Chains A and B, each alone.
Chain A
């Protein structure tokens, strides 16, 4: 009964209007590289204070979901992730665009993003408390092993040459050590610049590596005759068939589970979830060779993963009052502004409001589905714009976007240098993905490894006594040796 009321509440004209406003502005924010979901929510939060809680939250939830979804649009069309969470969508999405299947890729992005959002909302409804309790079990040792597991994905995202991929990945790890070390607060490689004390920011690096790198590569390789990018192939299919949908289902189910869990774990967000899901799906796939070359499965997995994180992150936020990612950290602030303290108490004292939030999450996804499918026809027109115009626009968005994250001058210079580096990687046939993975996981791995050791006074036994650690370590080792075993088995079969 209260569920019906919650849903009816969302369809009150005022609430619904703010939800739609949120979705539309989120779409804009997410598509522009550099404007992340975190930033969108942060910018709109002060506005939401003027509104009633249900209106304010409708807007914020709309922005949050929509920005994560639309980050995939720029990933697919111009090879630049609009938000960090859509990083894995560039691997296959952009390849599909180059082959002339941009409409199909965009529709996959929309449908699977929404599916991820909906499935994770279901997890939030049914498993909120057990899931949150499970997330609490992650202490320093478990985080360190999780990061280690993430690192094994470097091989998966390396493409044809694992040595090249690993080299780039470890360079990423190395760059993540710039700044104060998180345990002893010792200044490492900061060149006495306070802006470097917190290290190199990962988002500008990513924008530069992919966005500027791609522009420079296009400038370098484009023929004078081709004035625009590869257009949509005439009569190309726009949607997946039901059969294909079924074929992709197992990989997507796996990705959803991984992402909801990663989302629920505080401090690990959509970026890590989507790369891990993509890498894991590739390992388990029957056609791993298609991954990174425009695999429909790969794209669908990366799209479902980043939106499935939302439900997980909301779970920890609502049931424990702990932020699951950067966006939920801001949402907790807003809840407290309205005088509500997230936590189990919230489910009892403010049950109608919790239900409203979940209902908004679901409705926001449905709005995205409709909005996405109707507007998806417009986006590919971007590809018809003259290349030169596109280059200028994208370069500008990358620069200002990189600055917008922290208002930091160092960030935009980092972004530009990363752009040149990204170009060199492209030309030299090095994959860019592992670098990002290294940057992402470096701090998580190092700080938690050292934190765990400081808890045990230097004993490594903690990594082999915790059940979560043992399971994750086993999976890591298995997944590294699995390809070799598979080869053996195949040979024997022949």
Chain B
């Protein structure tokens, strides 16, 4: 009885994998997201998955495996069979986790096949604060080193580095206060518990609309479509290149023909009008890159973080 069962199972597995090599895709594709449901990573992935599903004609299922700044999902994906059916949404953290000591994996360990978007940090203060411009804030911070409290989305998170990057570029020193996620930091600014939050544009949108928050600057080379009146860092004369981003990758060793199929499908989805509209709503910057460029970009990011993170002296 059991023997029969194992035998059947083997036959099915072998037949299935032989078939898969011939044609891709033939069954359900899974994409893991290293964050919780409802966040930017999750929303972006689910949105693109729907588009890719329609193009490829197989179900594309998104699963959240949060934990350790995406390292849990990263390790899971990297250990899957490289057949193109196990993909992952790669956030900027995937280039940081090795330097942070969370896992041994880095962008080099996997195959990127598409880059989707960038996400800048904002410098947001309470609307009742005396700082009307970014210059006001920096002038105050220079006069009172260590007095300005800056909320971020967690120690070692990308928005923490954004704040550290601002410190270095402007020659000031902040009191960094980590919160559990960007929304919590934005809330704390609204309640007047911290002075500044360096979090994503979408996370402060509600507060800005209600008149509780004021965005002083966008940490990017261009303005954010959500806040067209707010100057970007380049205009202000600073050069900070700490940006969040999102891309997609498959395990190392995924065959070229499979990667080509995925690349084409995601290229179409990412460049669609629907995705551009979504980016607009969340304050993201669409930025498609193909497999080669995405891989090179992620690796250059990883190299940079591996040099910089030890300097930041987090611990």
A contacts B directly in the complex (CB < 8 Å)? Answer: yes
A residues sitting closer than 8 Å to B (CB atoms) are: 38-39, 42, 45-46, 49, 136-140, 180, 182-187, 194-195, 197-198, 266-267, 320-323, 326, 329-330, 332-333, 336-337, 339, 341-345, 406-408, 447, 451, 454-455, 457
> What residues of chain B lie closer than 8 Å to A197, measured between beta carbons?
67-69, 71-72, 102
> What residues of chain B lie closer than 8 Å to A183, measured between beta carbons?
155, 178
Which of B100, B206, B282 lies in contact with A322, CB distance below 8 A?
B206
Known: A136-B187, A320-B190, A407-B65. 15 other contacts (CB 8 A): A45-B37, A46-B50, A46-B62, A49-B50, A139-B191, A139-B193, A185-B154, A194-B67, A197-B71, A198-B66, A322-B183, A329-B38, A341-B206, A344-B209, A408-B72
Q: Please, which residue of chain A has its CB at the minimum distance from the CB of B194?
A: A455
Give 8 closest A-B pairs by Cβ, nearest first: A321-B206, A197-B68, A139-B193, A42-B37, A330-B38, A185-B155, A343-B206, A136-B191
Q: Please, which residue of chain B has its CB at the minimum distance from the CB of A327?
A: B38
Task: Say yes or no for B281: interface residue by CB 8 A criterion.
Answer: yes
> What residues of chain B lie closer than 8 Å to A42, measured between beta carbons?
37-38, 64
> What residues of chain B lie closer than 8 Å to A406, measured between beta carbons?
64-67
Q: Please, which residue of chain B has its CB at the minimum distance from the CB of A345?
A: B209
Task: Say yes or no for B177: interface residue by CB 8 A criterion.
Answer: yes
Q: Is the CB of B210 within 8 A of A185?
A: no
Measured in the bound complex, the distance between the Cα atoms of B210 and A455 in whole Å is 26
Q: Is the CB of A454 within 8 A of B177?
A: yes
Known: A46-B50, A187-B101. A139 touches B188 (CB 8 A): yes
Measured in the bound complex, the distance between the Cα atoms of B155 and A344 in whole Å is 31
Task: Say yes or no for B156: interface residue by CB 8 A criterion.
Answer: yes
Number of B positions contacting A (CB below 8 A): 57
> What residues of chain A lie closer than 8 Å to B210, measured between beta carbons?
320-321, 343-345
Distance (whole angstroms) from the CB of B269 to the closest CB of chain A: 15
Q: Is the CB of B68 within 8 A of A194?
A: yes
Distance (whole angstroms) from the CB of B45 to the closest CB of chain A: 11
Residue-by-residue, is B90-115 near A (CB-CB < 8 Å gives 1, otherwise 0)? 00000000001111000000000000
Distance (whole angstroms) from the CB of B42 to the closest CB of chain A: 8
> What residues of chain A lie closer than 8 Å to B206, measured between beta carbons?
320-322, 332, 341-343
Which B residues from 97 to 137 make CB contacts under 8 A with A? Answer: 100-103
Task: Say yes or no for B314: interface residue by CB 8 A criterion.
Answer: yes
Known: A321-B205, A330-B37. A46 touches B46 (CB 8 A): yes
B residues sitting closer than 8 Å to A (CB atoms) are: 32, 36-39, 42-43, 46, 50, 62-69, 71-72, 74-75, 100-103, 149, 154-156, 175, 177-180, 183-184, 186-188, 190-194, 202, 205-207, 209-212, 278, 281-282, 314-315
Distance (whole angstroms) from the CB of B39 to the closest CB of chain A: 8
Q: Is the CB of B64 within 8 A of A407?
A: yes
> What residues of chain A lie closer than 8 Å to B43, measured between beta carbons?
333, 337
Q: Please, which residue of chain A has its CB at the minimum distance from the CB of B206?
A: A321
Known: A195-B72, A198-B68. A447 touches B207 (CB 8 A): no
> What residues of chain A lie closer than 8 Å to B38, measured between beta carbons?
42, 45, 326, 329-330, 332-333
Q: Is the CB of B67 within 8 A of A408?
A: yes
Pick 23 A–B contacts, CB within 8 A, sort by A. Answer: A42-B37, A136-B191, A138-B191, A182-B155, A185-B315, A194-B68, A194-B103, A197-B71, A198-B68, A266-B184, A320-B210, A321-B205, A321-B209, A322-B183, A330-B38, A333-B42, A337-B43, A344-B209, A345-B209, A406-B65, A451-B177, A451-B179, A457-B175
Q: Please, which residue of chain B has its CB at the minimum distance from the CB of A38?
A: B37
> What residues of chain A lie closer than 8 Å to B101, measured between beta carbons?
187
Measured in the bound complex, the distance between the Cα atoms of B210 and A195 in whole Å is 39
Q: Is the CB of B281 within 8 A of A336?
A: yes
Measured in the bound complex, the distance between the Cα atoms of B177 and A447 in whole Å is 11
Q: Is the CB of B71 within 8 A of A320?
A: no
> What residues of chain A lie closer than 8 Å to B281, measured between beta carbons?
336-337, 339
Distance (whole angstroms) from the CB of A155 to the closest CB of chain B: 28
Measured in the bound complex, the distance between the Cα atoms of B281 and A49 in whole Å is 15
> What residues of chain A lie closer than 8 Å to B202, measured between beta carbons?
336
Distance (whole angstroms) from the CB of B178 to the closest CB of chain A: 6
Q: Is the CB of A320 within 8 A of B67?
A: no
Q: Please, which residue of chain B has its CB at the minimum distance from the CB of A328?
A: B38
Measured in the bound complex, the distance between the Cα atoms of B64 and A38 in whole Å is 13
Q: Is the CB of A343 within 8 A of B194?
A: no
Distance (whole angstroms) from the CB of A191 to the closest CB of chain B: 13
Measured in the bound complex, the distance between the Cα atoms of B156 and A184 in whole Å is 8
Q: Is the CB of A320 within 8 A of B178?
A: no
